Amino acid sequence: MNKHTVLNIALASGLLLLVMQAPAVETAHVAASDRTTLGLTLYNQNLGLVRDSRALPQLNPGEQIILEDVSHQLQPESLRIANAGQVYEQNLNTNLLNQNSLLQHYIGKELQLARLNPATGHEEVSQVTLLSFEGNRALIKQGNRFETIPLNQEQWRFIYPSLPEQLLTKPSLSFRSAGTKKAQTAEISYLTGGLNWNMDYLLTLNAAGTAVNIDGMATLQNNTGVDFPAAQISLLAGTVNQPDNAQYKRQGLEAMRTLSVAADTEIAPETLQDFHLYTLPRSVDLLNGQLKQVSLVTASNVPVERSYQYQFLVYPTLERNQHRVKPDLGLRFKNDKKSHLGFPLPSGNLRTFSPDSNGQLQFIGGGNINHTGEDETVELMLGKAFDVSILRRQTQFSKTFNGFQVEQELRISNTRSTPAKLELTANFPLSWEMQRSSMPYEKVQGGSARWIIDVPAKGDAVLNFSVQMEKR
């Protein structure tokens, strides 16, 4: 044996010894029990930001770390993993264990088929090969015979010899990194579908109808497939643009539980760029499939103004019909400090209640508001007025050289024991010029005229006007 051969054998033996001595690359599982802190930001559009801190052991280079208990609707493109060494790769594992994935795995493989004999009541088990499946039927080979069997029926069932390792009972994240020198806390954040929040306001009028108490409840929803216990939750009011991730959108769970929790202290909004952020004062549990309500806005004795509104179109045609209508009834209040408000109000639904003669609260109408900033006016339409009526009729019509001359009369009746302020808006389809009006008016944007009319209690008010409309 020459010296080169001896050298080669020695090198090969050394490499083999090194391979035998090298530790195997292990897999570490990090569950929700390893979580140190959890933060959520919920948006108004089926979107949430999860900030999850978890304690990690010292990581070896290339070691696979599996993070369990993550959202089933996680957007992989938004995933960030910090303080866990330089990350080489990160994966979202969603190959879940179910009947379809099991059947797919066993195509071309042997498994057992159990058949219940209805005559004897005994179950017969045989060895078969699964060839394919589609819909509710599977094609199998048994010996030299080929046959189809129904799926999801009591008489037939497959018995699987083992469960494939790659099929998971729930989604997980995994990553590999360059390793760490010591145990430390990793910071994981990602966007996910299945989280949402919206706002509902309850307005309680006083007996005189001059002020309201406002209770604003934020409804939080979790349809991510996982629980978020003891989470510090922030709510962002506003609509943010996001890339189209239609492939990651999934249907939420239909079954929901309801839990109400009141905030310990007043929640002050924080300005975040052109949005507003509300942070709940204490951590709460937001479980999967849960609707949770938290108090977000509270205000007492907010002055309100009752409003009556009616819009109509003045046609450049002869009209003989009379119109008997009821105006829309609404409430207005100013979002300012003088009105005991003066902070951003998130968009949401408003429901108004008023006491009857026995002091029992009755629902009298509702609507919704957009995001409302400080010093803006909130206007809520409740329905049609009962005690205020309008009779509108055309009193004159004539054609002119280049248009039409139209006169109208509106008689407003108020059977209430208090005065009513009515806002009338006339819309004109052509260029127009007011020739005569029995009451002051203003031109408003969009080619309209507006009157503010005070109708006395148990009384009437009459508006007459004449307008020239021209063709152009």
Strand partners, 41: 49, 234
The per-residue pLDDT for 164 is 77
Q: Which of 260, 348, 333 is nearest to 297 (CA)?
A: 348
Place of tokens 């021209």: 470
Yes or no: say if 331 and 206 are a contact pair by the CB < 8 Å rule: no
Strand partners, 408: 394, 465
The per-residue pLDDT for 399 is 92
Strand partners, 454: 421
Q: Which of 251, 262, 332 is nearest to 296 (CA)?
A: 262
Q: Is 235 exposed, middle or buried (0-12, 13-18, 19+ CB in 10 A)?
A: buried
Mapped to the 3 state alphabet, what secondary structure does 181-235 carry?
Answer: CCCEEEEEEEEECCEEEEEEEEEEECCCCCEEEEEEEEEEEECCCCCEEEEEEEE
Contacts of 249 (CB under 8 A, 6+ apart): 73, 193
Yes or no: say if 410 and 391 are a contact pair by the CB < 8 Å rule: yes
The per-residue pLDDT for 220 is 95
Contacts of 51 (CB under 8 A, 6+ apart): 37, 38, 39, 40, 41, 187, 188, 189
Q: pLDDT tens string for the chain (472 positions)?
A: 554 444 444 434 443 333 334 444 567 888 888 999 999 999 988 999 999 999 999 998 988 888 888 898 888 888 899 999 898 888 777 666 778 878 888 888 888 888 888 778 788 888 888 888 888 888 888 888 898 888 877 788 888 888 776 666 667 788 888 989 999 999 999 999 999 999 999 999 998 889 999 999 999 999 998 999 999 999 988 767 666 654 434 333 232 233 334 344 445 554 444 567 888 888 999 999 999 999 888 999 999 998 899 999 999 999 989 999 999 998 999 999 999 998 888 889 999 999 988 889 999 888 888 888 889 999 888 889 999 999 999 999 999 888 999 999 999 999 998 899 999 999 999 999 999 999 999 998 778 999 999 999 999 999 999 999 998 7
Give the pairing type, strands 403-414 and 290-303: unpaired
DSSP symbols for 139-166: EEEETTEEEEEESS-TTEEEE-S---TT
Q: Which of 409, 392, 401, 423 is nearest to 468 (CA)?
A: 401
User: In whole angstroms, what is the distance from residue 227 CA to residue 170 CA?
Assistant: 13
Yes or no: say if 455 and 469 are a contact pair by the CB < 8 Å rule: no
Left (φ > 0), alpha (ψ -120 to 50) or beta: where does 143 sit?
left
The per-residue pLDDT for 264 is 41
- Give the three-class secondary structure for 269: coil
Hey, what amino acid is at 340? Answer: H
The per-residue pLDDT for 147 is 87
Angle subtended at Cα 134 by Cα 131 and Cα 140, rounded to the nearest 5 degrees? 25
The per-residue pLDDT for 150 is 87
Domains along the sequence of the chain with CATH: 99-159 (2.30.30), 307-327+385-472 (2.60.40)
The per-residue pLDDT for 469 is 92
User: In whole angstroms, what is the distance from residue 164 CA to residue 111 CA?
Assistant: 13
Yes or no: say if 112 and 140 are a contact pair by the CB < 8 Å rule: no
The per-residue pLDDT for 344 is 83
Yes or no: say if 79 and 70 are a contact pair by the CB < 8 Å rule: no
Yes or no: say if 397 and 453 are a contact pair by the CB < 8 Å rule: no
The per-residue pLDDT for 254 is 31
The per-residue pLDDT for 18 is 37
Q: Which of 32, 90, 38, 50 is nearest to 224 (CA)?
A: 50
The per-residue pLDDT for 118 is 79
Q: Which of 409, 395, 407, 387 is nearest to 327 (CA)?
A: 387
Strand partners, 220: 197, 292
- Would you give the DSSP letter of residue 336? S
The per-residue pLDDT for 10 is 41
Strand partners, 423: 309, 452
Q: Which of 232, 219, 247, 231 is nearest to 74 (CA)?
A: 247
Yes or no: say if 149 and 140 are a contact pair by the CB < 8 Å rule: yes
Give the pairing type, strands 348-355 and 195-205: parallel
Left (φ > 0), alpha (ψ -120 to 50) or beta: where does 108 sit?
left
User: In whole angstroms, what is the distance from residue 93 CA to residue 308 CA?
Assistant: 59
Strand partners, 431: 470
Hey, what amino acid is at 421? Answer: K
Q: Which two tokens stand for residue 61?
A: 């280079």
